[in-house]
Structure 1
Amino acid sequence: MLLRLLLLICAPLSEPAGVPVSDVSLETQPPGGWVTEGDKLVLICLVANGTGNITFFWYRGALGVNLETKTQHSRTARYEILTVRESDAELYFCTADNGHGPSFSGLVPITVRIPVSRPVLILSIPDGQAMVGHMVELHCETLRGSPPIWYRYYHEDVVVWSSLVQSGGGASFNFSLSAGHSGNYSCEADNGPGAQRSEVVTLYVTVPVEGRMDHFPSGVIEGTLGSLGPITGALLLCYWLKRKIGRRSEDPVRSPSSPVSQEPSHLNSHATGQLEPLYENVNIVSGDEVYSLVYQIQQEQEPATGEHPRTYVDIYSRPRKANVVDVDYDDTM
């Protein structure tokens, strides 16, 4: 009888007192298990039912690597990862025990979002120069960052194209060049934590000469082309005169036959020691003008041995007349 009474007294001492823990759960901050690399992650273990001191355990991975153990008179406990790294992306769970046996939470996945690094903008033309009508590719890619990533292309700080990329590899923008595509280009990568802009790439678009002439007034083009005829004729005339004078200086005895002249007769003066004028019409340039060559040879009474007469040349021009016959005396000499 005494032994039975002792057993009844001692039996409650061997069993834990209070209410066992139940309905254990694991919550995260920030909510949803999404955290950016470098930020702080908090794992909160909650007990819905239980009394007394409770011991909390936090585990990482499905196999359960223990991270932290705390005992406190509370149904809530916190475990913090102050600086999250990419390697902290894993499954986590916790347990709680107040002496009646552990109670487990469910598995909670933690996703670590990697911010994008500064993207690189690559132009398919290495020197940045191309002609109108050429196809050009702009490729923007960030070397680091969690997808999905938004890529935006800017021309002089104005968005011209965008694309959402669900996996790695970057985005490409292709277009045919026009004169208005010259300028500075850049791209931007953004996956949520913060956008990053690339360096500026300059594109030079060359307009063909034919295309640029279309922008000039027709009168300017016609005037420019029309002025080439007299200039060319003048150059040819200078070249012809140089050869003419050279041949006369080599053969001073040679004298031209009487020219067919319509000029005043006072030019034909033959006084000894004076200038002897000769002239002839030169039909070098086609058009409404006739160029006349007038050269004067000074005859000295007693020229020194080996010396040649001096020659002076003048050039005149007059409008062509329909009944005038131009004679090139170079052909008759």
Structure 2
Amino acid sequence: MGSCCGGRGGRRTRCCSPPRSGTTAAATTARAEGYWSSFKTKPNEVVVHGELGWGAAGLGGTAAGLGARQWGHRPPLGTVSPELFSVPELSVEGSREPPEGSALTLVCVTRSSPLRPPVTLRHLFYRDGVVVGGPQGSPRHQLRALALRDSGSYACEARAEAAKVQKRSNPVTITVRRVPVAGVTLTAQPPGGQVAEGEGLVLSCTAGGGTRPLVFSWYREGQDQPLAQGSRYELPAARPEDGGHYLCRATDGVTAANSSLLQVTVVVPVAGATVRVAGTEAAVMEALGTEGERLNLSCAVRVGTAPVAFRWLRDGEEVGEGPLLALGPLGQGHVGSYQCVATNRLGARRAFQERSPPVALSVTPWGQGQRRGRALAGGLSVSLLVLVAACAALGWHLWRRRHPGG
């Protein structure tokens, strides 16, 4: 039987001497200030129960190696030997200075003691002392779509809740890098930035990179002041004067980038088509020509965005293209109802058309025109003779009145 050890504060402590050298099997029980620990020993083997058990590390792994100063005394608080698990290390899969928007994974690495029974660990992850993940069974924690606010000092903690043991890693600093604004793109609806007068147009701006939130501003070429702010710019009823080159600018307050220029075209549909006889200013509803002569008809529109195309119809059948229709030498085959059709386009699939009022063309036969000319000339000669005779009679009368004695 071993000797007794003195206690503190007048309390007696019953303790046991170390087992004798060479003992093949022994059981020892110690009680020191209410602390109990029991183990069985074999040569070169120590089994310790409890995380805060008696130290065996550095003592050769046998009960015989326990020193007299340790035997029969409660081990110092915090002594871990052998440990349930090691102090965790925080591993970072990826760069510790990742760019904004990227992802990385944190791994809480621990090692279990082969001398201790397996334990179930729970893991927590901290940023600047605040829990950002866990408690969870998995030792991995993924950070997705990193932002500047995710920068900080990270640590992980492993807990063996059944044994009431928890250990925290050393901190690891992660700094999220700002991404410059880039890839600014301007799109339009309708596509291409072409719109008819009075219709709506919407411009949209996006950025492929940059620290959020981004501020978008809209500019028109040649103007220093922005038209508006926001990722969309809308023209609810486009006017011809709204046409021009537009761009958007994106900024995160530190860096900025511009989109490419987009040309906005406001197409005015053709309207007010009229036909004139070439060389005259007034629009006509009728035209008269003489057989064998030449006659030119011209077509114009009151409004319409260029280019404007013209086609000519006679009695509904196409007879020519262009703003001028040359007819001649005239014949009876030219008689009919003429119209011009003016067309302009909005893109490749949309067209605007306007027809002029019809113009009736009559052609007088050449012979009939000659007879009419001779008859007209004869009539003018007779009238001229009568006029001359009347003037002569009037002059004679006036002369007689002035010279009564002549």
Task: Give TM-score scaled by structure 1 length.
Answer: 0.51
Q: Which has the higher contact order (CA 8 A, sep 6+)?
A: 1
Question: 8 Å contact 2:292–2:366 — kept in the other structure?
Answer: no
Give me the whole-angstrom Cα distance separating, in 2, the residues matched to 1:16 and 1:102: 19
Please give the alpha-carbon distance, in whole angstroms, between the structure 1 residues aligned to 2:223 and 2:367: 73
1:160 aligns with 2:319: yes
- Residues 1:136 and 1:198: Cα distance change in structure 2 (over 3 Å): same
Aligned pairs for 1:96-245 within 5 A: 96-124=250-278, 128-163=287-322, 171-176=323-328, 177-192=330-345, 193-209=351-367
Q: Equivalent residue of 2:226, what SS? A: strand
The CA distance in 2 between the partners of 1:16 and 1:89, in whole Å, is 43
Task: Report the AA paired with residue 28 of structure 1.
Answer: A
Work out whether residues 239 and 266 of structure 2, in 8 Å CA contact, stay in contact via their aligned partners in 1: yes
Q: Deviations over 1:77-107 (max 9, x none)?
A: 3211111101011221111123332222222
- 8 A Cα contact 1:20 1:99, kept in partner: no
Q: C-alpha distance in 2, partners of 1:62/1:173?
A: 43
Which one has a larger percent helix, Structure 1 or Structure 2? 1
- Calculate the aligned-residue CA RMSD, in Å: 2.6
Cα offset, 1:209, TM superposition: 4.9
Alignment partners' CA distance in 1, 2:176 and 2:198: 43
Is 1:52 the counterpart of 2:206? The answer is no
Distance 1:190 1:119 in 2: 10
Q: 2:243 maps to what in 1? A: 89
Paired letter, 2:359: V
Q: What secondary structure, in the 3-state scheme, does the structure 1 residue paired with 2:192 have?
A: helix
Larger Rg: 2
Deviation at 1:185, TM superposition (A): 0.7
Q: After superposition, what is the alpha-carbon deviation per residue over 1:14-39, rounded to whole angstroms, capped at 9, x for unaligned?
A: x9985342111212222223222222
Runs of 5+ consecutive residues of structure 2 not aligned to the other structure:
1-150, 153-174, 346-350, 370-406
Q: State the SS of the aligned residue for 1:128.
A: strand
Paired with 2:176 and 2:365, the residues of 1 have a C-alpha distance of: 91
Structure 2 distance, partners of 1:210, 1:86, is 53
Alignment of 1:255-270 (within 5 A): none
Given candidates 184, 187, 192, the residue that maps to 1:32 is: 192
Check 1:210–1:56 CA distance in 2 against 1; reply closer, same or farther (3 A cut): closer
Q: Contact conserved, 1:60 with 1:67, CA < 8 A, in 2?
A: yes
Partner Cα distance (2:232, 2:366) in 1: 71
Q: C-alpha separation between the residues in 1 aligned to 2:362 and 2:238?
A: 45
Which amino acid in the other structure matches residue 248 of structure 2? Answer: C
Q: Could you tell me which residue of structure 2 aligns to residue 62 of structure 1?
A: 222
Q: Distance in 1 between matches of 2:182 and 2:210?
A: 7
Give the distance between the partners of 1:89 and 1:210, measured in 2 at CA: 57
- Conserved in 2, the CA contact under 8 Å of 1:23 and 1:47? yes
CA distance change for structure 1 residues 210 and 43 in 2, over 3 Å: closer, same or farther? closer
Q: Tell me the matched-pair count.
A: 186
Contact 1:155 1:183 in 2 (8 A): yes
* Structure 2 CA distance for aligned equivalents of residues 66 and 183 of structure 1: 58
| Structure 1 unpaired stretches of 5+ | 1-11, 71-76, 164-170, 212-333
